[in-house]
Structure 1
Amino acid sequence: MGMNTDYNKQCLEKLIWAMQKLKIEMDYTELPKIAELIVQTMTGPWRYFHTPNHIFEVGGEDDPIEVLAALFHDVVYVQVDQSVNFNLTYYIAPFVRQVGVHLVIRDAEELPQDQIFEMVRQIFDFAPGQTLSPMTGQNEFLSALVASKVLEDLLSLELLVQVVACIEATIPFRTKTELGSNSDILYGRLQDVCERFNLKLTDDQLIETIKRSVRLSNRDVGSFAHESAAKFLDNTWNLLPETNHYLKNSSSYTINQYRTALQKMEGFMNFIKPEIIFHQFKGYPDDATYNNLVAMARKNIEVGRLYLVSKLFTIAFLEALSLRFGRVIPVSTLMGEMPSEGFSAVSLVDFLPPIPHPHQPTTDLEKLVLTLLDEGRTQSSSYDIKNSPLTTYMVKCLGFDEIIHQRNRAQEFFQDKIGHEEFLAGFDTDVKKAVTDGIVQLFDSRKAALCQSL
């Protein structure tokens, strides 16, 4: 409760600052309710990355439009929250209905006459009757709709258009089309909206709005270009439990569940291209800045891919071993429980033998990934320790080339093309025995602890 109170205070301060910067004359007693609405949504039980701290960071500290857009840009995140926060449905339900598991914009004859909704719909280029998709702007559209309806009595339509445009720009990972970049397309839509609604915005103001949206959206994905690969992986690990809710219980999620979460993240890392992460519009940011963002993202993605390959192979090996005695085995059963304050559990790696001739990394990428596995990300998460001692052991025993080879073999195991014993049979005998013996000794230590008073 105390943390939420602090977030409410920070959010309220940003709202007040933005309104004062925009010279909005208003009754400020309404703003605490808006702050509470935002913070309550952003502190939901599954929010690990998309939190109040994230929206405060994305908004920056210089531009009131960017601050307002950032405060609202993630209030709807259906696949994380598993629904739309009940308090937000007041603003959404007149325009959107649920059909099965999908959210659908109401048909034209069902929609109320509402200038604000029409403005938002046209900026996003959505149509009545359209089924919304999380991958193509559903969350951003609904967040922009909430922002516009919450702020409609406070801001002019001209200001709301700018806020909505900034939120639209945060739809991530879109490729350039024959119509140009996402920013070019958004600029064209704003021109159409200004003409249709007779808005008093000059072309220079529209260009500045798009540049604002570029700043905001680039900050939104800024962790991709973080100078520290460890920080980049911190954010990656904070994203995992947002859509893999079973990870919240660190002692009970299964090997299969953890493997599935890593697989999904690996799939994303293999899909993402550095060139589609960041935005540029009419030379802003300048080429040197933009190219540096892309280069840093490329480096971090390469690190993330090899890091995930290594961890995914290790968990595949454990999964294959676990199938010898059960199908629903928690990670903690084979690895030991996560350490916590006042409790230090025995771990599998405590029983692994020394490595007589450890493999050495052969490239800068391998050196960096091995360091990250060994020393860890910058922080532990609530469901996983920051370093990866078993994966480190595997890499030092086998080398990255063999790890990659075995990860590729593991895909056949995941797809049930080969059984767990066939997968294990293709694995280094000495390492397999060392890890298996370590698990047996871990079980023996538990047996000894259990029987100590008998």
Structure 2
Amino acid sequence: MADSGTGWIAELVTFLFGLSDPFASSHSLNATIELEATTHNEYLSALWATQLLAPALTPGQVAEVAVAIEATIPFREQASDESDRRYQRLIQANTRFQLGLSDAEMQRAIHRSVHLANCDLENFAAEDPVFFLDQTWLLLPEFNPALREPYRYRPADYRQALQKMETFMARLDTRQIFQQFHGTPTPALHQAWSQRAQYNLNVARLYLTTKVVAIGLIEALSHGQRPLSQYLGQPTHPHSSSIWEQHFPVLRLRRPLRSTLEFEVLQVAEEGRLTPCAFDSLRSPLAAFLIRSTWLQADSPAARTHALS
């Protein structure tokens, strides 16, 4: 079948993505539509890549390209189980499409796909939570078109973008992030990544919450009718927030910080994120002021989370 024209390539990719998979959890039309919606970018990328590379590859190598791209679909339930399902689909495809892959070659393909998928999300396990926040901030304009016009978006636009990210972080389970397959990565390394990801998520959630409160205050005071840049200054200027800081008294914390997590959130609010972006200033002086004066999130679940030892 793999030698009869190129139509088999699209059929192979569709099969390897589980869109016509006997191992899929449901065969209903609604389930198929939902799966297609959640895998749209990766599925189209795999179709394009395999069609482009097929003249230079064997059918088995075409399948390996497809499974590698399929593995990069992020945040699926029980991510580690996905690699086993991918392996079973590849075994089925090997017979159905006469790919000529040995079991050792198929296992290597799945190992490589797991490595690629984990590299794609490695920032979740970053040693520095500020780096993780940087990567998170770079995604905001991608999913919130209003932020692509830094001098026009209103406080409500920014607040809604932050709230969507905050909700996503709150719902994300670390078991949905990193994949495993037959000891790769090792259980100890996988656990370490998951623990680090949980800590970074806790920092990000608490930071996002304080930012939402600060922006919400600006929105309420300004009635939200003017662009946010009129209140915060030029977002591309690294010190644009200094106009705010000169009006804030220097405050001592109303209570001692209870964890490294709280310290890191206050530090990034006062000292800023690492990488400048076009739609937001690095520092958050109003959020830092609110933290020091009230510590609004002292009783939140994220604030109660202990730092990693």
- TM-score category of the 2 structures, normalised to the smaller one: 0.7 to 0.9
1:374 deviates by 1.1
1:355 deviates by 2.7
1:113 deviates by 7.4
Equivalence map 1:37-56=2 (5 Å): none
Aligned pair partner of 2:199 in 299, 318, 337: 299
1:335 deviates by 2.1
Equivalence map 1:146-185=2 (5 Å): 146-176=48-78, 181-185=81-85
Give the 3 Å change call, closer, same or farther, for CA 277–402 of structure 1 in structure 2. Answer: closer
Assess if the C-alpha contact under 8 Å between 2:234 and 2:281 holds in 1: no
Q: What CA deviation, in whole Å up to 9, does each residue of 1:41-94 have, x standing for no partner?
A: xxxxxxxxxxxxxxxxxxxxxxxxxxxxxxxxxxxxxxxxxxxxxxxxxxxxxx
Counterparts of 1:339 and 1:198, CA distance in 2: 55
Give the 3 Å change call, closer, same or farther, for CA 351–239 of structure 1 in structure 2. Answer: same
Assess if the C-alpha contact under 8 Å between 1:255 and 1:330 holds in 2: yes
* Structure with the greater alpha carbon radius of gyration: 1
Q: What CA deviation, in whole Å up to 9, does each residue of 1:80-122 have, x standing for no partner?
A: xxxxxxxxxxxxxxxxxxxxxxxxxxxxxxxx97111111010
Aligned pair partner of 2:292 in 396, 400, 415: 396
Assess if the C-alpha contact under 8 Å between 1:366 and 1:400 holds in 2: no
Give the 3 Å change call, closer, same or farther, for CA 403–249 of structure 1 in structure 2. Answer: farther
Residue 309 of structure 1 pairs with residue 209 of structure 2: yes
Q: Identify the residue that residue 350 of structure 1 maps to in structure 2.
A: 246
1:155 deviates by 1.2
1:373 deviates by 1.2
SS at match of 2:19: coil
Q: Identify the residue that residue 227 of structure 2 maps to in structure 1.
A: 330
Counterparts of 1:390 and 1:281, CA distance in 2: 46
Which residue type is aligned with residue 270 of structure 2? D
TM-score by structure 1 length? 0.59
> Unaligned stretches of 5+ in structure 2?
21-26, 302-309
Q: Identify the residue that residue 204 of structure 1 maps to in structure 2.
A: 104
Larger relative contact order, structure 1 or 2 (CA cutoff 8 Å, min sep 6): 2
Counterparts of 2:262 and 2:188, CA distance in 1: 27
Which residue type is aligned with residue 176 of structure 1? Q
Aligned pair partner of 2:11 in 114, 118, 140: 118
SS at match of 1:181: helix
Assess if the C-alpha contact under 8 Å between 2:129 and 2:200 holds in 1: yes
Q: Identify the residue that residue 272 of structure 2 maps to in structure 1.
A: 376
Assess if the C-alpha contact under 8 Å between 1:309 and 1:404 holds in 2: no
Equivalence map 1:48-67=2 (5 Å): none
Q: Identify the residue that residue 286 of structure 1 maps to in structure 2.
A: 186
Residue 142 of structure 1 pairs with residue 44 of structure 2: yes
Which residue type is aligned with residue 251 of structure 2? I
Counterparts of 1:122 and 1:240, CA distance in 2: 33
Give the 3 Å change call, closer, same or farther, for CA 133–247 of structure 1 in structure 2. Answer: farther
Which residue type is aligned with residue 293 of structure 1? W
Equivalence map 1:249-268=2 (5 Å): 249-268=149-168
Assess if the C-alpha contact under 8 Å between 1:335 and 1:348 holds in 2: yes
- The count of residues paired between Structure 1 and Structure 2 equals 288
Counterparts of 2:219 and 2:35, CA distance in 1: 33
Q: Identify the residue that residue 320 of structure 1 maps to in structure 2.
A: 220
Counterparts of 2:147 and 2:236, CA distance in 1: 16
1:132 deviates by 6.2
Assess if the C-alpha contact under 8 Å between 1:360 and 1:399 holds in 2: no
Which residue type is aligned with residue 283 of structure 2? N
Which residue type is aligned with residue 394 of structure 1? L
Counterparts of 1:316 and 1:152, CA distance in 2: 52
Equivalence map 1:59-78=2 (5 Å): none
Which residue type is aligned with residue 148 of structure 2? K
**Structure 1 vs Structure 2 CA RMSD:** 2.5
Assess if the C-alpha contact under 8 Å between 2:162 and 2:212 holds in 1: yes
Assess if the C-alpha contact under 8 Å between 1:124 and 1:168 holds in 2: yes
Give the 3 Å change call, closer, same or farther, for CA 260–401 of structure 1 in structure 2. Answer: closer
Identity across the alignment (%): 35
Assess if the C-alpha contact under 8 Å between 2:236 and 2:278 holds in 1: no
SS at match of 1:207: helix
SS at match of 1:153: helix
> Unaligned stretches of 5+ in structure 1?
1-111, 406-454
Counterparts of 1:227 and 1:392, CA distance in 2: 23
Which residue type is aligned with residue 116 of structure 1? I
1:198 deviates by 1.2
1:253 deviates by 1.2
Q: What CA deviation, in whole Å up to 9, does each residue of 1:357-381 have, x standing for no partner?
A: 6544222211111111111222221
Counterparts of 1:401 and 1:281, CA distance in 2: 39
Q: What CA deviation, in whole Å up to 9, does each residue of 1:216-249 have, x standing for no partner?
A: 0000000000111010000000000111122122
Assess if the C-alpha contact under 8 Å between 2:233 and 2:240 holds in 1: no
